[in-house]
Amino acid sequence: MKIRILILTAICCAFAFSLFAAGPAHPAKPGKWQVTTEMDMPGMPMKPEPQTHIQCVTKEDLEKNPEASVPKQYSRRTGEERNDCKISDYKVTENTVTWNLKCEGGRAPVTGSGKITYAADSYNGSMAMKIGDREMTAKYSGKYLGECDKTEQKK
């Protein structure tokens, strides 16, 4: 009888530990997201046009690399995704995700912190950034479009 209780206790502890180690579930759905970014930089003569990109977030991304759900940073000059940016202090609290960002390449270093709150098929968020000595904000809105294409899942 004592051995059964000991085994049952060990199984319960192992299960509880695996839940704790996995952390909270990510509030984003895996799939294709349309992400619109609006930038605002005080002192600029004209506000930049909003930019829209399609981003595929896989189930594996959300389980093994949840930072992949953070909106990507794109070069204003080339329009290509920046690959010099690192995400840190990534946290999930219920349906909200927060993070810090640091990009060290390009013309000037970029630092910032962001927050996104998810609903069923959409999200809204923002990020405050500093580019060199200039401050700016980005507002994000995401719309779930459905499953990723097979080719998008391999990216």
Indicate the fold that domain 27-153 takes in CATH: Lipocalin (2.40.128)
- Is the pLDDT at 84 greater than 80, yes or no? no
Chain mean position to CA 5: 43
Comparing 130 with 16, the larger pLDDT belongs to 130
- Is the pLDDT at 107 greater than 80, yes or no? no
* pLDDT tens digit sequence for 40-50: 988 888 888 99
* pLDDT tens digit sequence for 71-83: 766 666 666 666 7
- The candidate with the shortest Cα–Cα distance to 90, out of 61, 108, 68, is 68
How is the chain split into domains, by residue range? 27-153
pLDDT band at 144 (very low <50, low <70, confident <90, very high): very high
86 exposed, middle or buried (CB, 10 Å; 0-12, 13-18, 19+)? Answer: exposed
